C-alpha cells in the first residue's frame, strides 16, 4: 500500500491515534491548573472576573476532557492490537504503569471532577476549590504514570530479563528511570504553555473583533505572563533534557543534529538548516556554525558530540525527519519567548490590548504549543528508532505482524472516523471559545452530579451551547 511496509503502517496508525489523543490530555492538564489558579484568585480577591473566567473555561475543559476519554479508549487496546510482541515482552512493566494511569483518571472522574463541574452551588467554596486543585493534581499524576512508562522505554532500568521477558525487580528504579524527571518536566511545562497560548489566542481573537471586557483582557494578560516566565524555563528544561538524551541515547542526538562524522579533534559545529540524506550519509545544503554544537551539547569548546557514523546504519534513526521536527519545536519555542517579550513591552501604556499586529500574532500563536508538543514527541519517538525499548527490543520485532492491507484498511477507518468525530468535537470547543466569557456568567452555574443528566461521567454535558448558530432548540435534558 503506497509502497509502505506493514511495519510502517502499524507505526503510522499508532502515531495517528496517539497524536490525536495527546492534544486533549495536554490541554486538560493545562486548563485544570489554569482553573485552579483562577478559582484561587477569585477566592482570594473576591473579584468576580475570575469567577466568570472560571465558568467560561470549565465548560471548554469539560468538553476537552470528554474528547480525551473517548480517544483514550482506543489507546488502551492499541498496544496489544498493533504491538503484541512488545506487549508480551514488556507488559509486566508497562502494563501496570498504564493501569495506574487509567485508575488515576477514573478516580478523578468518580470523585473530584463531579464536584468541580457541577458542585458550584452545592458545596462550600473551600471544598470546591479543593476539588479543582485535586483535579489539577490528578491530571499531573496521570501524566506522571504514563510518562514513567514512556521514559522507561527510552531509558530502561530496574528490571531483569528472564525467559526472554522483562521482569520488574525494582519499581522505584523502573519509575524513576534516568530520562523520566526531564521528560515529565518538559511535557507538563509544554502542556501549560500550549494551554496558555490557546487561552491567549482566544482573548486576542475577541479583542480583534472589538469584543473587549475586563475578563477577556485578563485572559490575555495571564497568558502572556505565562509566556514571558515559562517559555524561557521550558527552553532551559529542554536543554537539560537534551543533555540527558546525549548521555543515554547519543544516536538520537546525532540524528537530531544531522551530524554525520567528527573531523579530527575539531569541536562539533551546529547545523542550523540542511537536508540529512540517509542514503548518502551526509547532510546536504547545510548551514552551520562552527563549534556551537559542542558548546550547546557539552557546554565546552573542545569536546565532540557523537556522530551518526559512530553507529551502524541499522542503529540510526531517520535523521531527515527528526532533524526537522526538532527544529519546528525549537522554532515554536523561540516564537513563544518572543511573543512573551513583545507582550511585556506592550504593557507599557496599555497597548497590549489594542496593538493589532500583536493581537494577530497572538491568534496565530494559538496552536503553537500543540504543534510544539507534537513535533517534540515525533522527535523523541522517531529518534528512539530503531528501538521500541532502547537497547532491548527493536520496533521491527515488536509488531503484531498484520498485513499491510489490513493495517491500511483500519488506518483509513481511523482517519475518517477521527476527523469526523473529533473534528466535530474540536469545532464545538472552538464554538464555545467564540462565545467568549460573559460578565456574571458564573452566577448561574449548571447543576448536576452522579446519576443526574449532567454528570462528570459525561463531561460534555457540562456545556449547554448548541452545535450551531441560530435559535437554541437544543434538546433539553432531564433536570
Partner 1 sequence: MGIDLPLIWAVIIAFGVMMYVVMDGFDLGIGILFPFVRDDGERDVMMNTVAPVWDGNETWLVLGGAGLFGAFPLAYAVVLDALYLPLILMLLGLIFRGVAFEFRFKAKAAKRHLWDKAFIGGSLTATFFQGVALGAYIDGFEVVNRSFAGGAFDWLTPFSVFCGLALIVAYALLGCTWLIMKTEGRLQQQMHDMARPLVFVVLAVTGIVSLWTPFEHPAIAERWFSLPNLFWFMPVPVLVLLCTYALLRSVANNRNYSPFLLTLALIFLGYSGLGISLWPNVIPPSISIWEASAPPQSQGFMLVGALFIIPFILMYTAWSYYVFRGKVTVDDGYH
**Single residue of 428, 433, 436, 442 touching partner 1 by CB under 8 A:** 428
Q: Which is nearer to partner 1, 114 or 383 (CB)?
A: 114
Which residues, in sequence order, are CB contacts of 66 under 8 Å at separation 6+?
425, 458, 459, 460
Q: Which is nearer to partner 1, 85 or 337 (CB)?
A: 85
DSSP category for residue 296: H
Q: Which is nearer to partner 1, 73 or 289 (CB)?
A: 73
- In angstroms, the CA 422 to CA 166 distance is 36
Interaction mask 155-174, partner 1, x per CB under 8 A: ------------xxx-x---
CB of 311 to partner 1, least distance (A): 29
Q: How many residues does the chain have?
A: 479
Q: Which of 334, 352, 201 is nearest to 272 (CA)?
A: 334
Within 248-307, the residues that bind partner 1 by CB under 8 A are none
Reported for 232-238, long-range contacts at CB under 8 A and 24+ positions apart, including other chains, are 232/337, 232/340, 233/189, 234/186, 234/189, 234/190, 234/193, 234/333, 234/336, 235/333, 235/337, 237/182, 237/185, 237/186, 237/189, 238/186, 238/333
Within 10-49, the residues that bind partner 1 by CB under 8 A are none
CB of 74 to partner 1, least distance (A): 5
Q: Which is nearer to partner 1, 88 or 282 (CB)?
A: 88
Kindly provide the residue ranges of all beta strands, DSSP E only, lying in 243-366, ordered along the sequence: 270-277, 282-289
Q: Which is nearer to partner 1, 80 or 214 (CB)?
A: 80
Q: Work out the number of other CB atoms within 10 angstroms of the CB of residue 110.
A: 12
Q: Which is nearer to partner 1, 70 or 235 (CB)?
A: 70
CB of 30 to partner 1, least distance (A): 23
**Single residue of 107, 225, 311, 364 touching partner 1 by CB under 8 A:** 107
CB of 385 to partner 1, least distance (A): 21
CB of 380 to partner 1, least distance (A): 22
Binding of partner 1 at residue 330 (CB under 8 A)? Answer: no
Interaction mask 57-96, partner 1, x per CB under 8 A: ---------x--xxxxxx-xx-xxx--xxxxx-xxxxxxx
CB of 128 to partner 1, least distance (A): 18
Binding segment for partner 1 (CB under 8 A), chosen from 116-124, 262-270, 319-327, 418-426, is: 418-426
Q: Which of 446, 440, 439, 442 is nearest to 122 (CA)?
A: 446
Binding segment for partner 1 (CB under 8 A), chosen from 104-112, 185-193, 314-322, 359-367, is: 104-112
CB of 472 to partner 1, least distance (A): 9
CB of 477 to partner 1, least distance (A): 6
**Number of shown-chain residues binding partner 1 (CB under 8 A):** 77
Binding segment for partner 1 (CB under 8 A), chosen from 53-61, 127-135, 188-196, 461-469, is: 461-469
Burial 2-13 (b: 16+ CB within 10 A, else e): eeeebbebbbbb
Query: What angle is formed at CA 20 by the lines to CA 254 and CA 230, rounded to 5 degrees?
Result: 60
HSE-up (13 A, CA, CB side) for residue 36: 20
Q: Which is nearer to partner 1, 48 or 78 (CB)?
A: 78
- In angstroms, the CA 208 to CA 26 distance is 27
Q: Which is nearer to partner 1, 152 or 342 (CB)?
A: 152
Within 429-458, the residues that bind partner 1 by CB under 8 A are 449-453, 455, 457-458
CB of 445 to partner 1, least distance (A): 16
Q: Which is nearer to partner 1, 124 or 476 (CB)?
A: 476
Q: Which is nearer to partner 1, 6 or 203 (CB)?
A: 6
Burial 428-455 (b: 16+ CB within 10 A, else e): bbebbbeebbeeebbeebbebeeebebb
Which residue reads 463531579 in cell numbers? 114
Within 349-408, the residues that bind partner 1 by CB under 8 A are 400-403, 406
Q: Which of 4, 2, 61, 11 is nearest to 36 (CA)?
A: 61
Within 202-231, the residues that bind partner 1 by CB under 8 A are none
Q: Which is nearer to partner 1, 265 or 473 (CB)?
A: 473
- In angstroms, the CA 147 to CA 412 distance is 28
Instruction: State the helix-helix crossing angle for 125-154 and 6-45, rounded to 10 degrees.
Output: 150
Q: Which of 476, 467, 400, 473 is nearest to 434 (CA)?
A: 467
**Single residue of 233, 417, 430, 439 touching partner 1 by CB under 8 A:** 417
Amino acid at each position: 500500500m503506497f509502497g509502505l511496509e506493514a511495519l510502517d503502517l502499524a507505526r503510522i496508525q499508532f502515531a495517528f491515534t496517539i497524536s490525536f489523543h495527546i492534544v486533549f490530555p495536554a490541554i486538560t492538564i493545562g486548563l485544570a491548573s489554569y482553573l485552579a489558579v483562577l478559582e484561587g484568585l477569585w477566592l482570594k480577591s473576591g473579584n468576580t472576573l475570575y469567577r466568570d473566567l472560571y465558568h467560561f473555561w470549565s465548560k471548554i475543559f469539560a468538553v476537552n476532557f470528554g474528547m480525551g476519554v473517548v480517544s483514550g479508549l482506543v489507546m488502551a487496546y492499541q498496544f496489544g492490537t498493533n504491538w503484541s510482541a512488545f506487549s508480551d515482552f514488556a507488559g509486566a512493566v508497562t502494563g501496570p504503569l498504564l493501569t495506574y494511569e487509567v485508575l488515576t483518571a477514573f478516580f478523578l472522574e468518580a470523585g473530584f471532577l463531579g464536584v468541580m463541574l457541577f458542585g458550584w452551588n452545592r458545596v462550600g467554596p473551600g471544598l470546591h476549590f479543593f476539588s479543582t486543585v485535586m483535579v489539577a493534581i490528578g491530571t499531573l499524576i496521570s501524566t506522571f504514570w504514563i510518562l514513567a512508562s514512556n521514559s522507561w522505554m527510552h531509558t530502561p532500568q530496574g528490571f531483569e530479563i528472564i525467559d526472554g521477558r522483562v521482569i520488574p525487580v525494582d519499581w522505584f528504579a523502573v519509575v524513576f528511570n534516568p530520562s523520566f524527571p526531564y521528560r515529565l518536566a518538559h511535557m507538563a511545562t509544554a502542556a501549560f504553555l500550549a494551554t496558555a497560548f490557546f487561552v491567549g489566542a482566544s482573548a486576542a481573537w475577541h479583542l480583534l473583533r472589538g469584543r473587549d471586557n475586563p475578563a477577556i483582557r485578563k485572559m490575555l494578560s495571564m497568558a502572556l505572563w505565562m509566556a514571558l516566565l515559562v517559555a524561557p524555563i521550558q527552553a532551559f528544561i529542554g536543554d537539560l533534557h537534551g543533555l540527558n538524551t546525549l548521555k543515554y541515547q547519543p544516536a538520537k542526538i546525532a540524528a537530531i543534529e544531522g551530524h554525520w562524522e567528527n573531523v579530527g579533534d575539531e569541536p562539533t559545529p551546529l547545523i542550523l538548516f540542511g537536508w540529512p540524506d540517509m542514503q548518502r550519509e551526509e547532510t546536504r545544503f547545510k548551514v552551520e556554525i562552527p563549534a556551537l554544537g559542542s558548546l550547546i551539547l557539552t557546554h565546552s569548546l573542545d569536546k565532540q558530540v557523537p556522530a551518526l557514523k559512530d553507529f551502524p546504519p541499522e542503529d540510526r534513526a531517520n535523521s531527515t525527519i527528526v532533524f526537522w521536527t526538532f527544529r519546528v519545536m525549537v522554532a515554536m519555542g523561540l516564537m513563544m519567548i518572543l511573543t512573551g517579550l513583545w507582550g511585556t513591552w506592550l504593557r507599557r501604556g496599555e497597548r497590549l490590548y489594542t496593538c493589532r499586529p500583536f493581537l494577530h500574532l497572538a491568534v496565530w500563536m494559538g496552536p503553537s504549543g500543540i504543534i510544539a508538543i507534537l513535533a517534540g514527541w515525533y522527535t523523541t519517538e522517531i529518534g528512539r528508532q530503531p528501538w521500541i525499548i532502547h537497547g532491548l527490543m527493536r520496533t521491527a520485532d515488536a509488531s503484531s505482524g498484520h498485513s499491510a492491507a489490513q493495517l491500511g484498511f483500519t488506518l483509513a477507518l481511523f482517519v475518517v472516523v477521527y476527523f469526523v468525530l473529533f473534528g466535530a468535537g474540536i469545532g464545538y470547543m472552538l464554538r464555545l471559545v467564540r462565545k467568549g466569557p460573559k460578565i456574571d456568567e458564573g452566577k448561574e452555574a449548571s447543576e448536576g452530579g452522579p446519576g443526574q443528566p449532567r454528570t462528570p461521567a459525561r463531561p460534555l454535558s457540562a456545556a449547554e451551547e448548541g452545535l450551531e448558530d441560530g435559535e437554541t432548540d437544543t434538546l433539553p435534558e432531564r433536570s
